[in-house]
Amino acid sequence: MPRPEPDAYFMGIAIAVRARANCTGRRVGAIIVRDGRILSTGYNGTPSKMRNCEEGGCHRCAHPEDYPSGQGYDLCICVHAEQNALLAAARFGVAVEGCTIYTTLQPCFGCLKELLQANVREVCYLKPWESRFGEQYAALVERLGGADFRAVAIDDPGAQWALGRAGTTERTQGHEVLGP
């Protein structure tokens, strides 16, 4: 087996982290890396010590028919993978300034703001989507630096599973519409 390039290696680990996600809408994994070393991981789901989505812990995930697409996120108790990676680093006193994040889904508007505020220097994502807030999202990407916001193309055998409910119905992530 050939040795993977760093992007493929780290995105492969983010895919493995995604396997722990318990959101029924979409499953996302993320890792924060500095100098070729993993500092923190995160996956999306309910907060620690709460019933997970698969057990009905989040009303929005358990009853998607009650919420129009793109609405009710203020009631959703799930924490995004990127947020969980940032929060885990903070909880254990690990600085993330100047780091790179690898995430299996392009960060939503809110997560991208949080990554910028934490001074993460590079965002690498597996699956893209198009924001309905294109101009504002583009401003955040520009602030990061366009070359430091990039897709990483690797094989994703669990891509259909990771879509969760989103694979069978049109759903959104945060306030944005998912791309193809």
**Per-residue pLDDT reduced to its tens digit, 85-124:** 999 999 999 999 999 999 999 999 899 999 999 999 999 9
Residues taking part in catalysis = 82
Q: What is the amino acid identity at position 139?
A: A
Residue 79 neighbours by CB under 8 Å, 6+ apart: 42, 44, 45, 46, 47, 87
Q: What is the amino acid identity at position 46?
A: T
**Gap between the Cα atoms of 5 and 21, Å rounded:** 25
Q: What is the pTM of this model?
A: 0.89
Identify the pLDDT of residue 178: 45
Cα atoms found within 13 Å of the Cα of residue 12, Cβ hemisphere only: 9
pLDDT in tens, 152-172: 999 999 999 898 876 654 444
